[in-house]
Structure formats: C-alpha cells, structure tokens
Chain A
C-alpha cells in the first residue's frame, strides 16, 4: 500500500505544517519583536506599594515616652464578601450603631472603593468597639480589622515643643526640601517633629505586589527580590524631665507666660513651658483642622510659644548682666556704691527705686540684693560714657557687643523651629530713634532692663547658664541622643562650647554672691530653700499695651531668673508671668518649686501650700480678651478696607479697558463696514 502512496496525503501534511508555520511567525512577532506587551503586562499586573515605617518615638531623660505611635484599628469591609446571611442586627449591636447607619456606611464604602476591594468602614474604632468586635469577628465574614499607627502624647504635655505632624501641602511639595515626599505623606509641622523630621520618619520601603483582575494585591512580585525594605525611624531621647515639665505646666495653669529650665553643664533643656498650653492630642487625626482653628482664635494665643517667640523686657533680671559688664569694662569695682535715696535724679527725670533706706546700695552685692534701680542705671551710664570707648555711641556699641555675647538680639539656635531673635539695641537703633542726637541719659533705662531691650525667656535662661558656668554656654537644645547615639552628626553643633566673654571668674563670683543675697535677704526670699544655695534675681517689668489706639500702662510682668546650686550649678531657670505683679510674688515661687523638684526630686510638704496657691491662681486678666478681640476687629476692618480698595481699583481698570475697546471697535470695525 505504501508503494502507491496517495498524493493527497502530502497535500494534507502540507496544510498541517503551513498552519504551524503561520502560527510560529505570528508568535514570533507577538513575543519576540513587539515589546509593548511586556510593558502592558507589568502595568496591569504589578502593584507598587509604598510601605511607611513606624515613626520614631520621643522619650524624656528617664526614658518615659512623651510621644509614640499608638496602635489603632480601622474596621475594613469587602462589600462583595458580605453575604445575605450576615446577622446585621448583632453586628450593629457589637459596634453600637443603628441599622440605618450600617446600610448608609456600607453603601458609602462600596461607592468609594468598589465592591471587590477592601474599604474603610469605621475609622479608628473605639477601645470598646475593638474589644467587642474582636471577640465576635468570626461571625461577620467580609469584615476585618486593620491595624494602623497614630501619634499619641501619653502625657499630653509640651505640646509646642514636641510639635505635631500633618499632611504635606501642595505648596510644600514644590520646595526642594520636600523632594522625597509625595502627596498624602505626613511631615513634622512644628516643634521637634519638624526639626528632627529626617531621623524620625525613617526610610520608606517599596514593595512590588502582583495584583489580580479585580485590582486586589496578591503575592510579592518575583518573590520580593525587587523590594526595598523600609527602615524604622529613630527615637529621640531628650534632656526634658517629663515630671518637671508637668509640674511647670501645672504651676503655669491659668496664667500667661513661660518657663525655661536648662542644665547649664550641657545646655540641655530640662523643661520648657509656654502658658497657656493645650493638649497636643487635639492636633491629630480627623479633628486637627477644627481644633487648630479653635486654638488659633483663642485670645490667650496658646499656639504662640512664649518661651522662644514672645518678647519680654527683662526688667531687673538684666541687672546681673549690667553688673558684669560694668565690672569687666572697669567702670565699677565690687565695692562701688551709690547713694540712692529712693530715686535717680541725675538726668532730670526721676527714676524710682523701691528702697529708700540709706546704704541699700552701698556696694554691688547690696545693690543687687535690694535691686536698686538708681545704682544700675548709674552703672549703665558709667559704661556708656566710659572714657575708654571715647563717646557714648561707641560706649553703647561696646555694651551691645557684650549683650550679643550673652546671647541677646539673635536666636540662640535651639532645636525647635520658629525661634525669634529678641532685641538688643545698639547705637544705630538710637540714631534712628533720636535722629542722632542722644546721650546716655536718653536710654539709661536699658541698664535696668527696660526700654528698647527685649528678650525671649529662652535667652534669659541661657544668660543664667552663662553666669552659672562663669562665662560659657552650650546652645540650648532638647535632644540628648538620637537612637541612643549621643554623637549623632545632627547633635554635633550642640556639643560645641561657646566661650562668650573673658570676664574673670572673680567677677562672676561677686555677681553670683549678690544673686545669692537676693534669695537670702533681698527681694527674692520666697525662693529660699534649706540646704541649697540658690542664686536668683527678681524682675518686675513695666509694660504697655495699645488699647483703643492709646498706649496704656498694664500690670507689671512678673519675672524671675535663677540658677542653683551656686557651686556646681545644675539648673538655670527663667520664669515670666505676664501682667501678674511683683517678680517675687508669682514668678519666684514657680522657679523655686521647679528647682526644688528638680534638685530634690519632690516638693517638700512645707511648701505644698505655696504649690496649691500657685496651682489655683488665675492670673489671666480680663482685658487680655478685650484687647485681643479689639485687635481682631481692627485687623478685620483693615483687611476689609484693603479688599474694597482692590475691588475699586480693579473695576476702574476694567471700565477703562472696556471704554478703550469700544472706541477701538467703533473706529476700525464700524467704519470699515459702512
């Protein structure tokens, strides 16, 4: 049979083979020549998932958490998996919602993320909901809990210093600094969260996942070999003492002002209070915008960090510095005295002094202890008019140089953002003010801390550090170590010792003893404590506010600065209480109690009464609100005026343009058509 082969079998074989060849050619074009299918396959099937690492926590000096990530749960639902057999009634009972709510929420989720994908059903379940749902989870197919982290402040203190995080705005994204951020990312907006953003946030990871035809992520692509692993943010360990901070905040309750306590040996900030403060837990999650505007509108301005951003004249707390400058310049000696009889009359106008007794300013220590205005005004004049400098303008310039060295008139460089520089006047300031014609009588108030000088409480505390350390300081800062590494490059600048003046130690000793006298038998006896040599200076600062367009004298600010112990000081502190009265009455006890708390770890029972009194005092003046609302009204009116003006200008311009256009039209178009 095979001999007489039928020719048609070869035709059929040829058909089979040619079909295969056609297929192979087509496949060659599809698979080898064309590249677009590979791209398309990757586009549809690979899902790029960005994984955010946990943000670093912030701990106080003893390792107590001040700010960390709290685990919260969202209830997720896959609408298509919710069967008809679901016991809606019992689920609603577990979650504490009504059945109408349930239907509404389910529909919302379905619209938002589609029926096949998981979507958020309840954001941030309450602890009760979480517990009850967890027990009954198996009853509710289609529902599951998703873990998420939320920044939380367990002590609800140091709000402005720790800061908060918020979503990066489109404006921020345009800046180079935020190049590594995407829309929807969170970043530190204030405080330490902002300053240490780079170490706190860690490094994002990118995971490639395969996804299926319903866009649900499945297993890792290529076994996860292309993924980059996320790196957790580092923790910050602070110098801040959480208990001291809490005490400070309690003492400053219902008051306006600030407290800054620094460890002079390191420059580490032990406590920083800006009163009034607020619960930082308000500024997170969905409630942030609402709470923020509420705080923003508050007359007492809780969002202003009074410790680094508010200006206060130092008042009598300037006197130790004046004394040191006078000694160093050679204008006075420690035994220099001034015959004050209750005032200073040398410049024509009386400058009052609270003490009238003869000899209360017989030498520097006595003058310091009794805070004699006349004495220090005189010392300032002696410095400014010192022959060594040759002329008051050069004298004031030299004074300014000293002030600058003490850290006034420029930001200290603390590691939280938006610090203000304060004001330290120099000759130029007065040239401008008085058109060049002025002398040491014109501005002698500066010597006693009034007039053109203005400091932040942080600068004041830093100046105390300089006196305590006898001539040097470290830039005040919060962070002791980053991820348990105290030598992190970010902290290098805070380990630099700033030797600011070369005033001899003997002068510092004299001033320090004078300040000790303040507490022992001077104006600041309220701060006296057994067994601790406290050096302090009170300040009662005259101040004015603009009310109804007129400068009005307000109640004095109460200011108190101190460091302790005198030998080997461990804490330097500055306290300002706005419009409260004498320095010794309100600011003094705050400083004293905080020193005691820090040095002895608790407030002695004898002083509990004082503490209670401080806790309960309400020193926010009624007119604070009046001034604030008047200011707001004025601002609003000004804004309104500006807008009206702009609208008028715009409409005039528009009218002019249209007249021009009309003329043009008449001239060229209508003529032609005639």
Chain B
C-alpha cells in the first residue's frame, strides 16, 4: 500500500491541518486585537490573554504531536476506560468543584482549573464510537439505541447538576451521529422542527410565519406528490404536520405568553435572544423603558451593536471601538465573534463562517472514507461537536439563539477549550492516517 509507505506526517490530511491552524491563528490574533491598547509598550506581554493563548496553542500542538505518535488502536481500546474516568471526574466535580462565575463545573487548584465537562466530550466521542462500531451492537434494536442515547446523555445530566446547561446541551449533538448510524429520520426531523419552530414563533411575525409554514408544506407536498396520490396516510401526515405547526405557532405560543407566563418570564425569554418584548405580549401597565434589562440582554445588545457597526468591510484591525473599549462583556471568550464582526465586517465574518463550514465538511469527507466504523463514527462525533458549538455560539452573538455560555471552537480564549478541541482534531487526524487499518 502506497499510503502506508509514507511517513506518519505525510499521511496526515493537509487540508484539515491547514484549516485547523488558520482558525487557531485567527483566534490568537482576535484575542490580541480585543486586548491591545495603543498605549501598550509591546505586543509580547506575558500578563495578556493573547500570550497565554499562544502558550496554550503550544501546549495543544505538543499534545497533538504525542497523539500522532500514539498507536491508532490505542484510542479504541482506551475508549471505555476513558469514559469511566470522565464520568468519575464529573461526579467528583459535583461535590468538589469550585465556583467560577456562577457555575460549579470547574475542577482543580486555581491556575490549573479545567472543566471536566469540556474534556469529557472527547471520552464520550470515543466511547460512543466504540459502542456503535462494536460487532455485538445492533443499532436497529431499541435496546441498543437507548444504550447509545445513555452514553451521550449521562454526562449531560451530570453537567446540568453543575449548573452549566450550555455545555450540557452540546451532548445532544451526538444524536446527529446516531442519526447517521441509523436512527430513524423522523426523530431528527421532529427535533429540528421543534427547535426551529420555537425560535421562529418568537422571532418572526405571526402572519409571516403562517405564510412560510404553508409555503413549506405546499413545497413538501409537491415533492412527494406521487406518494400523496397513492397513500392516504401520507396525506394525513402532511396535513397533520401543517396543522400542528400552525397550532403551535399561531395559538399555543400566543396563549402561553398572554395568559400563562408571568411578565418576568416573558422578559427573560426575549432578553436571552436580545429582543424587546413585542407590544402584543406586554402586560397592562407595563412600559417599554421600565424593564431594567438583565445581563444577557445587555450582552446581546452590545454584541449586536458591535457586529452591526462593522458594516461590509469592517472598521479595520485594532479599530473596533466597541470591542476595544470592553462594551461587550466576555468578548475574548464566548463573544469573540463580535471582534471579528466589528473589525472585519460582513466580509470577514463570511470568510470565517466559510472556514468553519469547510472544516466540518472536510471532517465528514474524512469520516466517510474510513475503513473502520470506529474511525467513521468518531469523525462524525468531531464534526457534530464542532457544528453545535459553532452554530449556537455565533447565533447567540447575533441574536438568533439564547445566550448559553459555550465557546467558539479554536477562537475563544481559554486553555481547556482550545486543548480539548485540538485533541479531538488530532485524534481524528491520527485515525485518518491509518484509515486502511481496521480498528476494533
């Protein structure tokens, strides 16, 4: 085999590596741009976050190197053990974790703190891949499907107990992997539709939404028109789906907001999206200016201002007035995308999104070319985790999703985030370099 004859470095996927390195480089530069002041004496200041991030990058690359020199079979044999370690760490955290900014999810002495929930993503990926690829597993049976779901959801439950809901939500991304491995279509469709429908009923005008849903149903009906002619149940299903959507968005949400939910709950829901409460849902006697606006509301507003003021070409590197002057809280971690949006505008944001999408599509391409199921499933895990972080993080900075504290992969400042994503990537690169070998 020609591939085997090359050295280990030659067998690594160049495109993935380039995409990874460019994203990490953009990350360091963005953290730098957020912190740099024209009064700073030098750009190499060890007390600044960008230099720390630089060091973490070094650490990540070193760990990556170790992974590359590890035998690829090690990961599959180590999978269950690592998962056990991860779960134990999570349990320990519940009792012995320390509080950082209201979440109880950090472990370790100050200075060396890390989030077990972050690291556990790797272990869960490995364990799930191992389970699904095992010859004893038949994923068409309900029992094995439930076990698979349990693999993904057990850490999520433990993380929710640590009051870190955002991180826990990430574990739902494994359903995307399980879908690829044979979970029925309908679960994915229903899941996505529910999320989309909920967000849409909050963000989009009711009449517009009615038209959109009807149009989508009509389009769907046109696509499966033959099926509809032949099958009565298909017709019922289509009309039923349409009816459910309309009922949910046109009746249930308004009734819920008008008569069931309290004023503060409504405000909370809208403010996590960075929106003002619409007139129609306001309680009598409530004024628009009256609400104080809670923290996440402020964050999203400032973040939208920062991104929106970037324009098409952006304000230029180091010229972001909002980000440089700390109007956006958490702008070097969760809200790092603001810095890109403000400094490089729609153009730069578009390029960044393109980089992410290319990386994720490339990962799927890599996954699909694996000989062993373990490697394939693991590849999907990495792509799905990336996708969840990417989609939710950017959506929350532009007011499309509620503010839940999860990081933007490779860009956000923070050692444990960068390190865990790098490890995920490098394991995939290592497995891919041995893609002809069957790994059990």
Could you jot down 26 A-B contacts, CB within 8 Å?
A: A1-B369, A5-B368, A6-B368, A8-B180, A11-B188, A12-B380, A13-B361, A15-B387, A16-B357, A20-B356, A23-B391, A24-B349, A27-B346, A30-B308, A31-B310, A31-B345, A31-B349, A32-B311, A34-B308, A37-B305, A38-B309, A42-B309, A46-B321, A213-B327, A219-B37, A219-B38
Q: Which residues of A contact B188 (CB under 8 A)?
A: 11
Contact of B394 among A2, A23, A37, A213 (CB under 8 A): A23
Tell me, rounded to whole Å, the shortest Cβ–Cβ distance linking A21 to chain B.
9
Q: Would you call A654 an interface residue if the criterion is a C-beta within 8 Å of the partner chain's C-beta atoms?
A: no
Residue from A12, A19, A20, A28 within 8 A of B180 (CB atoms): A12
B312 and A40 contact, CB distance less than 8 A? no
Using an 8 Å CB-CB cutoff, how does the interface string of B349-371 with A read, 1 for contact, 0 for none?
11001101100110010011111
A-B contacts besides A12-B179, A221-B321, 9 pairs, CB < 8 Å: A8-B179, A12-B176, A13-B361, A15-B192, A16-B361, A27-B349, A38-B308, A40-B305, A211-B325
* Contact in complex: A20, B326 (CB < 8 Å): no
Report A183-226 residues with CB < 8 Å from chain B CB: 210-213, 218-219, 221-222
User: Does B395 lie at the interface of the complex (its beta carbon under 8 Å from any beta carbon of A)?
Assistant: yes
Given the known interface contacts A19-B387, A30-B304, A30-B398, the answer about A1 and B353 at a Cβ–Cβ threshold of 8 Å is no
The answer to whether B322 has its CB under 8 Å from any CB of chain A is yes
Query: Interface residues of A, CB < 8 Å — how many?
Result: 41
Which B residues are in CB contact (< 8 Å) with A211?
325
Query: Known contacts A6-B368, A12-B176: does B326 contact A213 (CB below 8 Å)?
Result: yes
Q: Compute the total of residue contacts between A and B using a CB distance below 8 Å.
A: 126
What's the minimum C-beta distance from A18 to chain B, rounded to whole angstroms? Answer: 10
The answer to whether B353 touches A6 (Cβ under 8 A) is: no
Interface membership of A636, Cβ < 8 A: no
How far apart are the CA atoms of A28 and B312 in the complex, in Å?
Answer: 8
The majority secondary structure among interface residues of chain A is helix
Q: By the criterion CB–CB under 8 Å, are B353 and A45 in contact?
A: no
Residues on A with C-beta less than 8 A from B345 are 31
Nearest B residue to A31 via CB reads B346
Report chain B residues within 8 Å CB of A42.
309, 321
- Min C-beta distance of A214 to chain B, whole Å: 8
Which B residues fall within an 8 A CB radius of A? 37-39, 176, 179-180, 188, 192, 304-312, 319, 321-322, 324-327, 341-342, 345-346, 349-350, 353-354, 356-357, 360-361, 364, 367-371, 380, 383, 387, 391, 394-395, 398-400
Q: Judge whether A210 and B368 touch: CB under 8 Å.
A: no
Residues of A near B367 (CB, < 8 A) are: 9
Contact yes or no, B325 A210, CB < 8 A: yes
Question: Do the beta carbons of A19 and B391 come within 8 Å of each other?
Answer: yes
Q: Which residues of A contact B350 (CB under 8 A)?
A: 24, 27
Given contacts A44-B327, A211-B325, contact A26 B398 (CB under 8 A): yes
Contact between B327 and A24, CB atoms less than 8 A apart: no
Q: A219 CA to B38 CA in the complex, in Å?
A: 7
Is residue A499 within 8 Å, beta carbon to beta carbon, of the partner chain? no
Query: Does chain B have a CB within 8 A of A346?
Result: no
Interface members, chain A 260-299 (any B CB < 8 Å)? none
For A26, give the chain B residue with the smallest CB separation: B398
Tell whether, in the assembled complex, residue A37 and residue B307 are in contact, meaning their CB atoms are under 8 Å apart: yes
Among A213-265, those with CB < 8 Å from B are 213, 218-219, 221-222
A433 within 8 A of B: no
Contact, CB under 8 Å: A41 / B321: yes
Within 8 A of B (CB), among A25-75: 26-28, 30-32, 34, 36-38, 40-42, 44-46
Q: In this complex, what residue of A is CB-closest to B179?
A: A8
Nearest residue (CB) in B for A46 is B321
**In the complex, how many angstroms separate the beta carbon of A63 from the nearest chain B beta carbon?**
41
Measured CA separation A478–B325 after assembly (Å): 52
Would you give the shortest CB distance from A19 to chain B, in whole angstroms? 5
A146 within 8 A of B: no
Give the shortest distance, in Å, between B37 (CB) and chain A (any CB).
7
Within the complex, the shortest CB–CB distance from B402 to chain A, in Å, comes to 15
Known: A46-B321, A221-B321. A9 touches B341 (CB 8 A): no
Q: Which of B305, B354, B360 contacts A41 (CB 8 A)?
A: B305
Asked if A17 is at the interface (CB within 8 A of a chain B CB), the reply is yes
In the complex, residue of chain A having the shortest beta-carbon distance to the beta carbon of B319: A222
Assembly CA distance A228 to B310 (angstroms): 26
* Chain A residue at smallest Cβ distance from B315: A41
By a CB distance below 8 angstroms, the chain A residues around B369 are 1-2
Complex CA distance for A41 and B180, rounded to whole angstroms? 44
Task: Determine if B307 and A218 form an interchain contact, defined as CB atoms under 8 angstroms apart.
Answer: no
**B305 and A9 form a contact (CB under 8 A):** no
Q: How far is the CB of A416 from chain B (nearest CB, A)?
A: 48
Using Cβ atoms and an 8 Å threshold, which residues of chain A touch B357?
16-17, 20
Residues of B within 8 A of A11 (CB): 179, 188
A22 within 8 A of B: yes
Instruction: Closest A residue to B177 by CB, please name it.
Output: A12
B324 in contact with A37 (CB, 8 Å): no
